[in-house]
Amino acid sequence: MTAVHAGNINVKWDPKSLEIRTLAVDRLLEPLVTQVTTLVNTNSKGPSNKKRGSSKKAHVLAASVEQATENFLDKVDKIAKENQFLKEELVAAVEDTVAGEFADDPCSSVKLALLSAVTQLLILADMADVYKLLVQLKVVEDAILKLRNAGNEQDIGIQYKALKPEVDKLNFMAAKRQQEPKVVGHHDQMAAAREILQKNVPILYTTSQACLQHLDVTAYKANRDLIYKQLQQAVTGISNAVQATASDDASQHQWGGEGELAYALNNFEKQVIVDPLSFSEECFRPSLEEGLESIISGAALMADSSCTCDDQCNAVLQALQDLLSEYMGNAGRKERSDALSSAIDKITKKNRDLCRQLRKAVMDHVSDSFLETSVPFLVSIEAAKNGNEKEVKEYAQVFDGHADKLIEVANLACSISNNEEGVKLVRMSASQLEALCPQVINAALALAAKPQSKLSVFSQMLITVWKM
């Protein structure tokens, strides 16, 4: 990956690359591809007495192609002036685009040259749009740092007042770009990052105030640093998503898609059906045993002493051995025997029985863990309001353990679900829960240390966010 450096902005795109990363470029290229392809096909329909490329129809189509490029060329001067770091590449792309003799030689090489030139021009224009967003992102990043480092209450107020409109401007620009990346995961990454910015900037303002007013309360400083770190991650997330580059946060790539165990169960059921004529134990047995092993590993995470998941796994394992024996007996035959068909039906039934048992185990976990979820939270907050720091620390451990259990069970439920949208929403919520937990604990400790402080409103803010 080649990076373009413009001032303090690092654009992770190669101006000479033809990699299309956004749907906008795809949409703009589609009619041009159709026109050029039609132009080429018009001159490739068989022998003709006319000189190749001299067809009137070809010239009409060529004019249409040239007209399609003018929409881009008219705007190039403006784009180049606004984005000096791309000026040379833009001018070169324009020269390549207008240099084609489309009608005189409408062959594949010319078609590719035209499409390459226009594609590069579009990508560069798209790059310029991304650059503007990255500039605004840098403005917000710097303003967040200034707010965090403000040395007095007046400065905090000034920095916060300056930051709010910049965040709103960034949110507007990012919202416009959110649907453009071709990779769906980048949409979710940008949406999550935008939400973090909107929610956490006001909290950073309040915690920064609290840090100055109560220098002796370390919980305020701990929360300020936690929130600042999340804001930094949000800025990085938007930068990566808008440039369609990989994120360092691997968890964000695991939000979408069906659950791992659900996929393994469905895939295993498909794998057991094989044509006996092409059956090979050397190929068939390892892949099936590997698939079953991943299912058993996932089932072990859900099973508890009161359920029979182990028995169900053993039943599937035995059915697999019976199935392999039948396949070996039918190897080379054109049709399945009744015994083989029966073995396939048996393992399919056992696999579905296991799936039902696993879903029941997850439902039991959910029922146990999500019953009266607010109790540890409310007990901690009540102790904090009473100024009882010792109780807050004791209840904080219970609260933290309970939050961990909620996250664990949420992920277990996702692993056995086929609902891709539901899995994404639950995993995103679990991620937010994980980020909020230490903030709530610190807020409770801060409230316990200064229960009469006017800044206890900060703790109430976190209480509201947690309940949401």
What is the span of the domain harbouring residue 295? 260-364
> Is residue 75 assigned to a domain?
yes
> Is residue 236 assigned to a domain?
no
pTM recorded for the entire structure: 0.68
Domain count within the chain: 3
Q: Is 154 helix (H, G, I), strand (E, B) or coil?
A: helix
Helices 281-302/338-369 angle, 10° precision: 20
Q: Cite the beta strand spans of 2-104 per DSSP E.
A: 4-6, 9-11
> Is residue 276 assigned to a domain?
yes
> Is residue 203 assigned to a domain?
no
Closest CA to 348 of 373, 310, 322: 322
Which helix (H) or strand (E) element contains residue 172?
helix 153-177
- Distance between start and end Cα atoms, the chain: 41
Helices 218-242/184-213 angle, 10° precision: 160
What CATH number did the domain enclosing 404 receive?
1.20.120.230
Question: Residue 329 and residue 308: Cα distance in Å, rounded?
Answer: 32
CB-CB contact of 435 with 230 (8 Å): yes
Cα atoms in the 13 Å half-sphere on the side-chain side of 206: 20
Write the DSSP symbol of residue 102: T
Pair (352, 436) in one structural domain:
no
Closest CA to 315 of 299, 337, 339: 299
Q: Is 6 helix (H, G, I), strand (E, B) or coil?
A: strand
Pair (353, 447) in one structural domain:
no
CB-CB contact of 324 with 292 (8 Å): no
> Is residue 264 assigned to a domain?
yes
Domain termination residue (choose one: 333, 364, 395): 364
CB-CB contact of 383 with 448 (8 Å): yes
Token pair for 366? 């959910």
Q: Cite the beta strand spans of 9-155 per DSSP E.
A: 9-11
> Is residue 317 assigned to a domain?
yes
Q: Is 22 helix (H, G, I), strand (E, B) or coil?
A: strand
Pair (345, 388) in one structural domain:
no
Cα atoms in the 13 Å half-sphere on the side-chain side of 69: 25
Reading the chain (468 residues) residue by residue, the pLDDT tens digits are: 444 444 566 666 555 554 555 555 555 555 555 555 554 455 444 444 444 444 445 555 555 555 655 655 555 555 555 555 545 554 555 555 544 444 445 444 555 565 566 666 666 667 777 888 899 999 999 999 999 999 899 999 999 999 999 999 999 998 888 876 666 677 788 888 999 999 899 999 988 998 888 888 888 899 999 999 999 999 999 988 888 775 555 444 456 667 888 888 898 888 888 887 777 878 888 888 888 888 888 777 776 534 446 676 777 778 878 877 887 877 777 778 888 888 888 888 888 888 888 888 888 888 888 777 778 888 888 888 888 889 988 888 988 988 898 898 898 889 889 888 888 889 988 988 898 889 888 888 888 888 777 655 555 655 556 655
> Is residue 355 assigned to a domain?
yes
Domain termination residue (choose one: 103, 129, 155): 129
Pair (89, 64) in one structural domain:
yes
Write the DSSP symbol of residue 455: G
Domain termination residue (choose one: 129, 160, 186): 129
Q: Which residues contact 333 (CB under 8 A, 6 or more apart)?
A: 276, 277
Pair (343, 399) in one structural domain:
no
Q: Is 451 helix (H, G, I), strand (E, B) or coil?
A: coil
Pair (360, 390) in one structural domain:
no
Pair (303, 271) in one structural domain:
yes
CB-CB contact of 409 with 365 (8 Å): yes
Q: Is 341 helix (H, G, I), strand (E, B) or coil?
A: helix
Dihedral pair phi/psi, residue 68, rounded to 5°:
-65, -30
> Is residue 178 assigned to a domain?
no
